[in-house]
Amino acid sequence: MNARGHTLAEMLVVLAILGLVAALVIPTAAPASSFRADAAAQEVAQALRFAQSEALRTGQYYLVRCDVAAGSVTVARLDINATPPAP
C-alpha cells in the first residue's frame, strides 16, 4: 500500500516544532531595533547637551541637525549675521 500525503499527527508535530523555533528566535531579534532606537536617542540628547553647553560657554547660537536618511547628527554654530541665518 502506497500512502500519499501526511497524517494529521505528523503535521501537528511539524507545526509544534516550528512554533518552538519561532518562540525562541523572535524574542531575541526584537530587542535589536529597540537598542538602536535607544542609542539614536542618546546620541541626539548628547548633541543637544553639547550644543547647549557650547552656547552658554561662547554666547553664540548653536543648532542641532538630525538627518534621518543619512543617520547622522550634526552640531553647528549658527551665524545670525547671515540672511537667512546659516550654520
Q: Would you state the pLDDT for residue 87?
A: 64
Quick one: pLDDT band at residue 79, thresholds 50, 70, 90? Answer: confident
The cell numbers describing 22, all together, are 519561532
Query: pLDDT tens digit string along 31-43?
Result: 667 788 888 899 9
Asked whether residue 53 carries a pLDDT value surpassing 90, the answer given is: yes
Instruction: Identify whether the C-beta of residue 77 lies closer than 8 Å to the C-beta of residue 85.
Output: no
Higher-scoring residue by pLDDT: 30, 24: 24
The cell numbers describing 42, all together, are 542618546
The type of residue at 11 is M
Instruction: Identify whether the C-beta of residue 74 lies closer than 8 Å to the C-beta of residue 44.
Output: no
Q: What does the pLDDT average to over 64-79? A: 88
The cell numbers describing 78, all together, are 549658527
C-alpha distance from residue 15 to each of 19, 32, 67 (Å): 6, 27, 44
Helices (H), 3-87: 8-58
